[in-house]
Structure formats: structure tokens, C-alpha cells
A and B are shown apart, each in its own frame.
Chain A
């Protein structure tokens, strides 16, 4: 049975509509949704997220990812989105700050801990801290102060002590 008929749709007229050819591109999953990038394969993931998808939670950092403002999870690991060209991301599973909460709106324990510890200044660096912190908690569910010391993020508002408390709070919550 033709597909359209099986779905209860009227049969497609033939001849007067040429189906668009399948567009070549890079397939990847972002926050659980599937996307195909058909533009320049060298475009960094950061600009794909921000300019193409308008997912602007991932922020602009240094040219080489300095500051950690542009971190995202790729395959569960924190990576700098400016340093990842789309060409390297075929089949990748990307999670941005927008994808950290569950579909029902319940927050990741670290997101909740950031709220509870008021670990937010201007908030521009917060997404990067969350991604780096979740990467750390995944690798080390009970991180030490030395582990937290190694986070690459920078903050000018001085949230570091509150971020440290938030990570420890989240580690306790998920125990």
C-alpha cells in the first residue's frame, strides 16, 4: 500500500511536483532533537547554535574558548563550541544549557544548586560553569576541592566561591 494511502492521505498527484533532492549535510542531535547542517562544514558549532538555530544560551567566549563561556556537552564531555567545526560532529550528541533540564521542566541538580547557592552574578558565564560542572560530576560524582580547582571557567563577578558550594551541594543531592 502506498504510504500516503496508508496514512489516510489523498494520493499524491504525479508529474507536476518534483520532490526536492535530499540535501547533503551533517546530521547531529542537539538537546535530543535531530538536525542537519547543510552549510559550511568548517563553521564552528558555536555559530551554528547561535546564528542558525538561535540557541543563544551558549555564550561567546575567547577565540580559543578561553573563559569557558562557550562550553557544551558533546557525547557527555565538556568541549568548547568555538573549537568544534561542524565537520567533526557528524552523528554527535550535543547538549547545551537549554537541554540540561528534563522535558517536564525539572532542573538538573546542579542547575537547582546554582539557584539555591545564588551562584550567579551577571549570569553570562553561568552556562559554561554548568556544563563544566556536569562534566565533572559525571566523571567524579564526589569531586574534591582540587578537582573543582581545575575547572577552566573564568568569572569577573566573583561567583567562584558560590559555584564551588553549588557543585558540592549537587554532589550531595545526587548521592
Chain B
């Protein structure tokens, strides 16, 4: 029995009877075959993208469609389904769904809808559609119970995997699923549960993979292997657009176990992220050790291209600072409210500062890797990716296979941070598999990941503010220079700013005369998406600068912020939506209350504040810092977030603490520099992530839940962390850090 409920124009909720009488509800496409994870069905239902399967023994299997890179979606998404199903969470198992793709007219159709991680939209997308899958399964089970018992369905209630009759009799879901799978679903979407009846959403849940992770059983892509696969390691040209001058392979091939040496070239005219970053030479061998030994024996000479040979991060930065000091026209005027010139005539104080932030690398824990098997009419891959659909596009382009003939498995991912939205390593693995006509497991080293990344561009901000009577900030003139992450990616020139600065970022909308200019820098260094950007770099400049305004006005920085924010109200955002000042004030109050901000002037340690908003979510940090000689101690960190409805408070708390520490770690030590076109950081020693000792012993997380639709939170707690720390450091040391990495600059100025 099969039935459908229209969910969107193309996708449908479907119901089928699974093997052994199981009930299966999922989102399907009505036209074509869908590859289904065998664990989900165990049989041959070919037109279903399954989300939930309930077996006759009462066990529930829920598929998680978005890759989990540590952002908790493998736990949160299934809980959204389980909530509407009224499932017994202790009986629920979760499996990653892998890519859902089928073909229509030769074009790919995405069976599961949204499949992307780390861009902050997993939860909002799931909230919009996954609840229906759970609600439908519960409706069918209730109908089955009603028919069997001769009781009206609306007199039955469901609780933790059991249907309960008015007189208290209990029928486990498992006893009803076979009958339920034969019932036709309704034609319209079902009403959803009232939030006050939630038993899972809003309650804490540990990571569904936790036990497997602490026992070493979780398989990441890097752990996957085929017995007949060759291990591939490679070495890249130090210049992204350089080329191979000479190669001697005999010593490498003489190593026992080495099978082949294969040069790889980036494809011409293919956007960054879809082909190899740089020319490379790969060594393919029977095991990793042989491959690495072969790599060490390769004799290679590379030559730079004219473009990149002179690239120098120091020079780019100096040019950017000089550029912002002139009055040359910006690449894009991102926003221009009011009349800056007129505001200038009312100036009581003028304040100006320049902030410089370095290039950064993703430094993912799990190195870039990809396992690929190419058969005549089928490609099978295991890929650590945040965006399986984009990985699919790379494989499809290189193999020319029909859409449904490319299967991509996405196990749990060892950190993404935006790096795995690009798939150069997938392209490399496919090229190698084609070259050797065997399955290939490609693995980069960590060191190569640092030296060949799609970096976050360095940035320079120059901000000028005018303070009028009554200490009001009446004008804000912000210039930012960076190399756009979107260059070369098919984005129109007048939109390159959009990866670099937000049109709605603070204090836009709060200052009547507000201008934001973006100056695009040219650079041959590859750039790409980076966790939390463009919020993180802009928040550092803006929130530091607000603290500088407070200092100039000789007042409590909280007073300055509250005056700037004004009354609780809604402010329309450019492009739609509202900025809710009340919610921003609330998170600010939560952190200042907790850290006892009223002592800010008299505390022996320094205290600092910052706040931010991202797409309807709000965050504030309060940090207490102390200097012991030239040692910085981060004494306390308090973070409050308002993300609307909270699906899993434990998961969210972990995300908030984690994003806070990641942001602090990125601000404290590391920087990517390049000279003569070559990245100078070759290992973790040169690119230090924070040690335990440098980080605070605790992050005090305050959640401010409410009934609004949930928003993404994976990087919400990043932007305000570093400026709150820098502001605290200023109170603790009297040193204003306007340049990152923070520790290097602090020690220079102390």
C-alpha cells in the first residue's frame, strides 16, 4: 500500500509496508528509482526516500539526512521526527542517509531535500518538513488502532511508542505497524503537536553516536576501505597556479608496495573547489606506509606562475591599509543610510580605528580524504563532505555518469568549518581512480591541508564614528578590505562583497547615518567558505570599536551599547526579516547579570562585552580576563544565545561552548602568511590551535529558549567571543588589540 501527501512541488511524503510488516514513511519522488540504504528497508521498495521505519518489535530506525560534522544534526534531526511520532527515544536508532539523488530527464532530483551541514540551516529546514514525516507515521498508527479497537481515533493518545485507549489499555506501536502500513494517508498535511506536549524537543539528549565514538567504533570516511583499493598520497605544487618542471619517479617506484605515480593537473576553467587546488603528484601504493615512503623518494621540481610568485600577505595587508586611508571609490557600497556629510556638521566627537585580521586555514581534524570505486556504469564513493549534492556534481562532471548512478555515502565527518563545502579532494580521487582503473583511497596529510587550503582572506577594517550631542552615535562610516571568497565561483562582480560583510550587521539600522563600503583585494591565494564568516571578522572590528567609543566617552561600555541599541523594537532588515532589539537586549542582560557586570570598573580583572545577531538568532558574550605578567588568563566566559525554539539543549549547549572556544582559539594564536607565493605554515607547530592551558576552564552557557521557529546555531556563538575577550584584555592590560592574532599583538604592545 502506498500513499502520498504533497509536501512541496516535487517531493511527497510516502507510506509503504516494509519487510516483515514494518511501517516506512519517507519523502519520495513519484517518478523514478531511488537508491535506498539497505539498512533502512532491507527490501525492494524503489520509490521512497525513507526517514522513519517502525518494526513490529517496536524498534524505530530514523535516517539523518544532513551530514554530521560535529554540529549535532544526527541527533537533533531524528528527534524532530521522533517528537511528532511520539516515539520511545530509547528504541530509536539513527543512520546517516547518504546522498539521495535520482534522475528526471537526465537531471538530478534530490530525494531528501536539504542535505548540507555547517551552514546553519539544517534545523530550520528540518523544522519546515521533517515534522510531517513523524506526524504521518503517528496518524497511521492511531488509525490502525482505532479500526482494530472500534474506538474513534481522536479518543486515543500516543506516548513513548504506545497507543493508549481512554480506559487505559496500551498498544505498542510495533503491534499496529503492519495494519498501519495498509491505510491510505490523508490528502492534506496533518496538524502538528502543540509545543506544550513536547517530550523530546527542548529536552537534553546526548549525541546518538556517543557510545560508538568513545569505543572507537564510529567509521569516518578516512576509515573506509575496499580490499582492492590503492592508497593514494600526494604532494602539491607550492604555488597554486604553478606547474611541474621535472619529475623522477624511479626511486619511488622501487619502494616495495608502490604501484604507480600519477601527476594531477587542475582542470582549466573549472571553478575553485571543483577541481584540484594545485598541480600535484600522487603516489599510489598497497598501503599507506609504502605510499608515504614512495612520496618521500619522489624527485620533483616545481615552477611558479607569474601570477602567484610575488604573492605576499604582508604586502597585501599594507596595500589594503593604504587603500582604506585614501578616498578611492569602493568596489561596492554595501549600505548607505542617511547623510554622513550632514551628520558631520553635528559632530561633538570623532573616533576612528583600524583593525587587521590575518588569513586563516580550516585545520580540520580529519584530513581531506575520499574513497572512490569507479565501475563501468556506476560510481561509489565515501566522502567526508558538508554538501553531498555538490560532491555529486564534481563526480558527475568527471565521470559523465547518469545522476542516479553515483552513490555517495557520508559517514560522520571529522570537522568541516566550511572546508568540506569544496570538493577538490573528491575531484583528485576520481581523477586518480580513472588513471589507475582501480578503487582509490586518497588521503592528504594535515600539513598539506594547511599549506593547500581555501583560506579565509585576511581583512582590514577602518571605522569612523561621529558622536553628537547626548553621546549619541550619529554616524558610522565603515570600510572593509578583503579578497572575496566568491572570486572565480561564478558570482557576479557586484555580489562579491556578500561573503565578506553583512548588509544587516550591527550597527546597521541603529545609526541613522550609516555607510558600509567594501574594497575587493586581488590575490592568487585560493579562498573559500569559512565557519562563521563574514560575521566573525566583522564582529571583531565592530564590537571592538564600540568598546573604543565607550572608552573615548569615558563611560561603562554597557551604557554605550544600551544607548546604541535603544528601546526594544523591531527594525526591518535589508532583504527581509526583522532585527528584534528586545531579544538582543535580553541576551546582553543575561550575560551581564551572570558575570556581575556592575563590578566592571572595580573588578581587579578586566571585563569585556560583545553581542551579535545572525539571521534571527542572537548572542552575547561577557569575558573576564587577567594578566599575570605577560600571561593572559581567560578567567570567565559567559555566553547567552536566543535561537528560538531549542531542539536539544544539551547539543545546543555543546555547540555554543564549542563555537566560543573555536573562535577564541582562532583569535589567540594562528595566522596563515605567505611569501613569494608560498604558504609559510607547514604544520601545527606553525599554526597553533589553542592548548587547554590557554582556554578558559569553563564556558557558562545560558540558553534563552522561546516558541519562535528554530534557527541555526552551529556558529552563532563565534562572532562575539573574540571581541569580548579583546575588550576584557583592554581593561586588564590597558592594551587595545586591533590586530590578530591576539597573543602576538598583546605581547608586542605590553
Chain A residues within 8 Å of B, Cβ to Cβ = 40, 43-44, 47, 50-52, 54-64, 66-67, 69, 96-98, 100-101, 107, 111, 114-116, 118, 120-127, 130, 145, 148-151, 153-165
Chain B residues near A145 (CB-CB < 8 A): 697
Bound Cα distance from A58 to B223, whole angstroms: 10
Chain B residues near A151 (CB-CB < 8 A): 692
B69 lies within 8 A of chain A by Cβ = yes
Contact B684 A100 (CB under 8 A): no
Within the complex, the shortest CB–CB distance from A169 to chain B, in Å, comes to 13
Bound Cα distance from A155 to B215, whole angstroms: 18
Chain B residues near A111 (CB-CB < 8 A): 214-215
Bound Cα distance from A160 to B662, whole angstroms: 10
- Option from A98, A120, A156, A164 in Cβ contact (under 8 Å) with B692: A164
Within the complex, the shortest CB–CB distance from B249 to chain A, in Å, comes to 20
Contacting residues of chain B (264-290) with chain A, CB-CB under 8 angstroms:
287-290
Contact A124 B415 (CB under 8 A): yes
Contact A115 B214 (CB under 8 A): yes
Q: Known contacts being A47-B288, A51-B231, A156-B365, is A63 close to B211, with CB within 8 Å? A: no
Interface size of B in residues (CB-CB distance below 8 Å) = 64
B603 lies within 8 A of chain A by Cβ = no
Q: Is the interface of A mostly helix, strand, loop or mixed?
A: loop
- Option from B210, B657, B659, B698 in Cβ contact (under 8 Å) with A120: B210
| Nearest residue, chain A, Cβ from B209 | A123
B216 lies within 8 A of chain A by Cβ = yes
Q: Known contacts being A44-B289, A115-B211, A115-B214, is A123 close to B412, with CB within 8 Å? A: yes
Contact mask B214-233 → A, CB, 8 Å, 1/0?
11111110110100000100
Chain B residues near A43 (CB-CB < 8 A): 289
Q: Known contacts being A62-B447, A161-B657, is A121 close to B288, with CB within 8 Å? A: no
Q: Known contacts being A63-B445, A63-B683, A148-B692, is A157 close to B658, with CB within 8 Å? A: yes
Chain A residues near B69 (CB-CB < 8 A): 122
Q: Known contacts being A43-B289, A56-B219, A149-B692, is A158 close to B213, with CB within 8 Å? A: no
- Option from B70, B206, B219 in Cβ contact (under 8 Å) with A122: B70
Contact A98 B660 (CB under 8 A): no
Contact B288 A64 (CB under 8 A): no
User: A122-B416, A154-B684 provided; 9 other pairs, C-beta below 8 A?
Assistant: A57-B215, A57-B217, A60-B366, A120-B70, A121-B654, A122-B69, A124-B415, A149-B692, A160-B692
B364 lies within 8 A of chain A by Cβ = yes
| Nearest residue, chain A, Cβ from B447 | A63
The 4 closest A-B pairs by CB, nearest first: A57-B216, A122-B70, A124-B414, A158-B661
- 10 A–B pairs (Cβ distance < 8 Å), ordered by A: A62-B684, A66-B685, A97-B215, A98-B215, A98-B216, A107-B214, A122-B68, A122-B365, A122-B366, A161-B698
Contact B443 A101 (CB under 8 A): no
Within the complex, the shortest CB–CB distance from A109 to chain B, in Å, comes to 11
Bound Cα distance from A56 to B215, whole angstroms: 11
Bound Cα distance from A99 to B207, whole angstroms: 21
Contact B683 A64 (CB under 8 A): yes
Chain A residues near B684 (CB-CB < 8 A): 62, 66-67, 154
- Option from A52, A61, A123, A164 in Cβ contact (under 8 Å) with B287: A52
Q: Is the interface of B mostly helix, strand, loop or mixed?
A: loop
Chain B residues near A52 (CB-CB < 8 A): 287
Contact A51 B211 (CB under 8 A): no
Within the complex, the shortest CB–CB distance from A83 to chain B, in Å, comes to 14
| Nearest residue, chain B, Cβ from A163 | B692
| Nearest residue, chain A, Cβ from B224 | A56
Contact B443 A156 (CB under 8 A): no
Bound Cα distance from A137 to B446, whole angstroms: 29
Chain A residues near B223 (CB-CB < 8 A): 50, 56
Contact A161 B415 (CB under 8 A): no
Chain B residues near A114 (CB-CB < 8 A): 210, 214
Contact B446 A122 (CB under 8 A): no
B318 lies within 8 A of chain A by Cβ = no
Chain A residues near B365 (CB-CB < 8 A): 59, 67, 69, 122, 124-125, 154-157
Bound Cα distance from A69 to B366, whole angstroms: 9
Chain B residues near A101 (CB-CB < 8 A): 215
Bound Cα distance from A66 to B686, whole angstroms: 11
Within the complex, the shortest CB–CB distance from B293 to chain A, in Å, comes to 8
Contact B207 A120 (CB under 8 A): yes
Within the complex, the shortest CB–CB distance from A57 to chain B, in Å, comes to 2
Q: Known contacts being A97-B215, A122-B413, A123-B218, is A60 close to B367, with CB within 8 Å? A: yes
Chain B residues near A51 (CB-CB < 8 A): 231, 287-289
Within the complex, the shortest CB–CB distance from A162 to chain B, in Å, comes to 7
Contacting residues of chain B (661-696) with chain A, CB-CB under 8 angstroms:
661-662, 665, 683-685, 689-693, 695-696
Contacting residues of chain B (436-485) with chain A, CB-CB under 8 angstroms:
443, 445-447
Bound Cα distance from A126 to B693, whole angstroms: 18
B110 lies within 8 A of chain A by Cβ = no
Contacting residues of chain B (347-390) with chain A, CB-CB under 8 angstroms:
363-367
Within the complex, the shortest CB–CB distance from B68 to chain A, in Å, comes to 8
Within the complex, the shortest CB–CB distance from A106 to chain B, in Å, comes to 11
Q: Which of B416, B651, B653, B691 has its CB near the most chain A CB atoms (within 10 A)? A: B691
